[in-house]
Amino acid sequence: MCQRGDHHGRIRSGRARGTRLEQALAKINDENESITASVCDVSDRSSIEAFVRTAADRLGGIDVLVNNAGVSGPTASVEEMDPDQWDAVLAVNLTGTFNVTRLSIPFLRQSDAGVIINMSSVGGCFGYPNRSPYATTKRGLLGLTETLALELGEAGVRVNAIAPGAVDGDRIQRVLRGRAETTGRSLGDATADALSIQALKRFVDPADIAALALFLASDSARSITGQTIPIDGGSKSAQ
């Protein structure tokens, strides 16, 4: 969330991941006085209500909302899926985004440059074997994005989605290990499979996704809304 007017103040949200997350947030607070970092459990409605209210109070409103909190979920077939794990993924990836957005809309309407960016995935654009809760939530975000664009266009609020492919980092490594265990193949084979569907044979740099988000939030994208922008190395399907 960005402060109205100068866009310097920010609050980031995500599920608590123990001491490591708390230390990272403390580091952000200490290193940049214009950034306020705090933990919000987006699967808990009361936590979201307090977070949005505090963000708007501290920043003097909300200009830009980036819904980036999400979990990868389990790797299992629908037949073998734990219903509790299914519910947990939906609570964060889809319902959490809905609630954060719902509560932020009144402030975005007051902005002269209101923007919502939903972080979907290439996994929401295609069928995704053994990743049904993840694929379902990321597909749902595309429908939510298009609906919000229509509902908020009259107020000048733009709404777009970013659909990253496989992003370099610890998370994709966990996904690939789970995929290898599920299929009985090696981690190397799972990695090769993931890259085989891409024109560019490398995982996406997180910095490139951040740059795309900044573009969509800027005046340079003032005529873009209701769109899903892929950043996936030229992926043709999901595996």
Instruction: Write out the residue range of the structural domain in which residue 151 sits.
Output: 60-231
| Residue 29 forms part of a structural domain | no
pTM, two decimal places: 0.84
| Residue 44 forms part of a structural domain | no
The sign of the dihedral angle between the CA atoms of 41, 47, 49, 50 is negative
Task: Give 40-105 as a DSSP string.
Answer: B-TT-HHHHHHHHHHHHHHHTS-SEEEE--------B-TTT--HHHHHHHHIIIIIIHHHHHHHHH
For the record, the structure tokens of 61 come out as 């409103």
| Residue 175 forms part of a structural domain | yes
Q: Catalytic: which of 134, 145, 221, 229?
A: 134
| Residue 119 forms part of a structural domain | yes
pLDDT digits (tens), the chain, 239 positions: 543 333 333 334 444 456 777 888 888 888 888 888 888 999 999 999 999 999 999 999 999 999 999 998 998 999 999 999 999 999 999 999 999 999 999 999 999 999 999 999 998 998 889 999 999 999 999 999 999 999 999 999 999 999 998 888 888 888 889 889 888 999 999 889 888 888 888 889 999 999 999 999 999 999 999 999 999 888 876 44
| Residue 219 forms part of a structural domain | yes
CATH number where 79 lies: 3.40.50.720
| Residue 1 forms part of a structural domain | no
| Residue 203 forms part of a structural domain | yes
- The answer to whether the CB of 149 falls within 8 A of the CB of 216 is no
- 134 is known as an active-site residue: yes
Nearest C-alpha neighbor of 212 from the set 197, 231, 193, 192: 231
Provide the domain count of the chain: 1
Mark 167-178 as b/e (b = at least 16 C-beta within 10 Å): beeeebeebbeb
| Residue 11 forms part of a structural domain | no
